[in-house]
Amino acid sequence: MKKRLGSILWPALGVGGFIAVWAVSARLVDNALMLPSPLVVLGGFRDLLYDGSLLRDLRASLHRVLVGYAIAAGLAVPLALVLAYFETLRRIFLPVITLLRPIPPIAWIPLAILWFGLGDKPAYFITAVASFFPIFINAFSGGVSVETDHLNAARCLGAGRWSMIRRIYLPSSLPQVWTGLRIGLGQSWMAVVTAELIAAPSGLGFLIQMSRLNLETPHVLVGMLVIGVVGAFMTTLLGQAERFVLPWRRTLTHG
C-alpha cells in the first residue's frame, strides 16, 4: 500500500512542481504570446476539444504511427533474426544497415515527399524508418546472443533452419526484441510529429505548425503537451504488456 501510494505521490509532486514553475515563469515574462500561463493553455485545450480539431489531429497522428510502426516491426524483427542465423547474409546486409542507421529520420523527409507526395504515405515511411533501426538492433543483439547449448540441442533433435529461427532464435531473443519495440514506438511517435510539421495536412505536428503561423501559442503548447502525455501513456502501456508477454521476467525480478 505504501509503495503504491509513493508511486502516485512522487509523480504528482513532480508534475505539480513543473506547473508551479511554469505559472511563475509566465507571470514574470508577462507576455501571453511568448509564454502563456497554464490557465490560458487550459482554455486553449478546451477550445480545441470543443471544436473537434484536437481529437481529429490526435487520431490522424496515432493512425500514422501505428501503421509505420507495424511496417517497421514486421520487417525489422524477421530480418534481424535471419541475419543473426545466416552469417553470409549478415556480412552482406549488416554494413548497409550500419551505413543507414545514423541518418536521422528528418533527413528522409525530402525524399519521402518526392516519392510519396504529401499526406499519410510519407508519414508512414518516416515513422517506419525511425522505429526500424532500434527494433532491428535490439532484435539482432538478442539473436546473436542465443545460447550455443540451445542451438546444439535443437540440431540434435533435427530442427531445420526456419524451425531454428522460429522456435529457438525468436523465443530466446524476445526480451531484447521487446526492448526494441518499446524504444521503436517512442522513436516513431517523435518522428511522426516531425513529419507532420512539413508533409501532412493533419495531425498534432500540423496543429502545432498552423498554431505557430497564426500566433496561437496556447494551441502550440496544447499540441506539445498532448504529444508528451500520449507518448508517456504508450510507453507505460507497453511496460504493462511486458508482464504478459515476458512473464518469467516478473518472476525473476520479484523472486
pLDDT in tens, 152-208: 666 665 666 666 666 666 777 778 888 888 899 989 998 988 888 887 788 998 999
Nearest one of 148, 174, 190 to 241, comparing CA atoms = 174
Q: Is residue 13 packed enough to be buried (19+ CB in 10 Å), middle (13-18) or exposed (0-12)?
A: exposed
Instruction: Report yes or no: 205 and 58 within 8 Å, Cβ to Cβ.
Output: no
Per the structure block, which three cell numbers stand in for 127?
A: 515513422
- Please report, for the chain, the start and end positions of each structural domain, with discontinuous segments joined by +: 36-254
Instruction: Report yes or no: 78 and 135 within 8 Å, Cβ to Cβ.
Output: no
The helix (run of H) or strand (run of E) holding residue 163 is: helix 161-164
SS3 246: coil
pLDDT in tens, 10-55: 778 888 888 999 899 988 888 888 889 999 999 999 999 998 899 9
Task: State the chain's mean pLDDT as an integer.
Answer: 84
Q: What is the pLDDT of residue 67?
A: 94
The architecture CATH gives domain 36-254: Orthogonal Bundle (1.10)
Per the structure block, which three cell numbers stand in for 172?
A: 530466446
Place of cell 486553449: 44
Per the structure block, which three cell numbers stand in for 144?
A: 546473436
